Amino acid sequence: MTAVKRFPTPRVLDELARHFDRAGFRCFLVGGALRNIALRGKPTDYDLATDAHPGDVQRIFRRVIPTGIQHGTVTVLYKGHQFEVTTFRTESTYSDSRRPDSVAFSTSIEEDLSRRDFTINGMALDLVNREFHDPYGGLEDIDSKTVRAIGEPAERFSEDGLRVMRAIRFATQLEFSLDAATREAIPRALPALQRVSAERKRDELVKTIQAAHPARGILLMQETGVMSQLIPELAACDSVAQGEGVNRTVLTHSAYACEGAPADRLEIRLAALLHDVGKVDTYEEDEEVGMRFHGHDAVSADYARAILTRLRFSNDVTSTVAHLVRHHMFDYDPTGWTDATVRRFISRVGAQYVDDLILLRRADSYGKAGHPVRDRRLEALEEHVREVLAADSALSVRDLAVNGNTLHEEAGIPKGPLMGRTLEFLLESVLQDPAQNTREKLLEIARNYYEQRLQTGR
């Protein structure tokens, strides 16, 4: 089958291309769109390349959004579809390896393809005359499942250090292998990666860990030295031996734990990746129990916060991940945990985080085994949590039958730190026994508590 037959395109795309043609411009399907058609028979989005400048595109089409006009990219809205249209570019210089200094437009598709990163991304299909351009053998590399740099890998990586992470990201997402020369060039390109902005690195990391099988990508980052630069705290976990197989070191365990978390839940994937990162600092040999990592949940949470802040994750993502990591060490015991224990657990971690913590724990088990494992204790906890939540008893200070104002007015408790401690005490009482959650009972408990504090002076 000739190459071009592998790229059936929808009619709307051919129509769009005719508008370019009529205006005297060329229009090519490029990048991820072609890759995905070749791999899966259909594209996820449409990346187009043209010799028309952004201003020309704005004249040809009525609805054009200047999404990345500084890079020569606009988005054309046409018949209910979106098309990313980028003017042909030449390889611009990256003097600081952070981002191109300037965009230089080109008139040839060949030149445009030559500045692209990998052969699988360096193909173009002329949508008017249906000519397929594949100067670097991208289609062959798709068939052999290989990520290969266009040209000299070391040179391409030094132009833009992010490409080392992109190589690993594509290998992970597509489940391809890295061409040997491309892989060998990565360690020497790490100084260039160092100069890349945290935001660009974060976006590639996110795409890598959101793949169906991120463990391979994480291990590739470790083996090539990318991890020691990106998250040195996690790279150091490879020196802490833990068990066997995927559970061999804390690093390999974390890679698989990440894989065991749901792919569409970024916070849980990140929490799984970082949940044990404090084990390096807390490792102790204990005569009786062997290895111990006392307090590693709190240390890991602090590290997770520092790592995610450094990588410019949002405050929301950072706090959620740190919170999940902080609380991942609960130990459910079906005979020992009463309803009150479960209420205290939910109250401590927050009702909205319980499901995620259970998912994190499942990921942790996957990270020990390398495959999903049935954890009956965890299932029992889930069931117990469901029962407790269904009973709708108070689980936080907000759910109490009294508030600070009532305590102040009715029991004379001054507003301030003591009020906070009183409310906590009331919550403790209600978690222990939900029947205490009435206005009269809580006022009585509060009065007694306050009197005792006055007597002991605390």
> Can you give the binding site for ligand ATP, defined by CB under 6 A?
31-32, 44, 47, 116-117, 121, 160, 162-163, 166
Count other C-beta atoms under 10 Å from residue 143's C-beta: 11
Q: Which residues contact 184 (CB under 8 A, 6 or more apart)?
A: 153
Count other C-beta atoms under 10 Å from residue 357's C-beta: 23
Contact range with Mg ion by CB under 5 A, out of 28-36, 319-327, 411-419, 428-436 = 28-36
Q: Give the nearer residue to Mg ion in terms of CB position, either 35 or 133.
A: 35
Q: Give the nearer residue to ligand ATP in terms of CB position, either 166 or 343.
A: 166
Please give the full DSSP string across 116-130, using - where no structure is assigned. Answer: SSBGGG--EEETTT-
Residue 215 C-beta: closest distance to Mg ion, Å: 24
Quick one: what does residue 260 bind among Mg ion, ligand ATP, none, with the CB cut-off 5 to 8 Å set by partner type? none
Residue 101 C-beta: closest distance to ligand ATP, Å: 14
Q: Give the nearer residue to Mg ion in terms of CB position, either 150 or 215.
A: 150
Q: Which residues contact 314 (CB under 8 A, 6 or more apart)?
A: none
d(CA 122, CA 91) in angstroms, rounded, equals 13
Residue 142 C-beta: closest distance to ligand ATP, Å: 12
CA nearest 424: which of 455, 445, 393? 445
Quick one: what does residue 121 bind among ligand ATP, Mg ion, none, with the CB cut-off 5 to 8 Å set by partner type? ligand ATP
Does position 68 interact with Mg ion (CB under 5 A)? The reply is no
Judging by DSSP bridges, how do beta strands 124-126 and 146-147 pair with one another? unpaired
Q: Which residues contact 424 (CB under 8 A, 6 or more apart)?
A: 397
Q: Give the nearer residue to ligand ATP in terms of CB position, either 162 or 277.
A: 162
- Written as one letter, the residue type at 202 is R
Closest residue to ligand ATP in the complex (CB): 32
Q: Give the nearer residue to ligand ATP in terms of CB position, either 120 or 270.
A: 120
Closest residue to Mg ion in the complex (CB): 32
Contact range with Mg ion by CB under 5 A, out of 30-38, 115-123, 126-134, 272-280 = 30-38
Supply 91's token pair.
């390889």
Which residue of 32, 243, 350, 404 would you call a contact of Mg ion, by CB under 5 A?
32
Supply 16's token pair.
């769009």
Q: Give the nearer residue to Mg ion in terms of CB position, either 32 or 100.
A: 32
d(CA 120, CA 34) in angstroms, rounded, equals 9
Quick one: what does residue 116 bind among Mg ion, ligand ATP, none, with the CB cut-off 5 to 8 Å set by partner type? ligand ATP
Q: Do 38 and 139 contact (CB within 8 A), yes or no?
A: yes
String marking each residue 374-393 x if it binds Mg ion according to CB under 5 A: --------------------
Burial of 70 (0-12, 13-18, 19+ CB in 10 A): exposed
Quick one: what does residue 350 bind among ligand ATP, Mg ion, none, with the CB cut-off 5 to 8 Å set by partner type? none
Torsion angle, CA of 374/378/383/385, rounded to 10 degrees? Answer: -160
Positions touching Mg ion (CB under 5 A) are 32
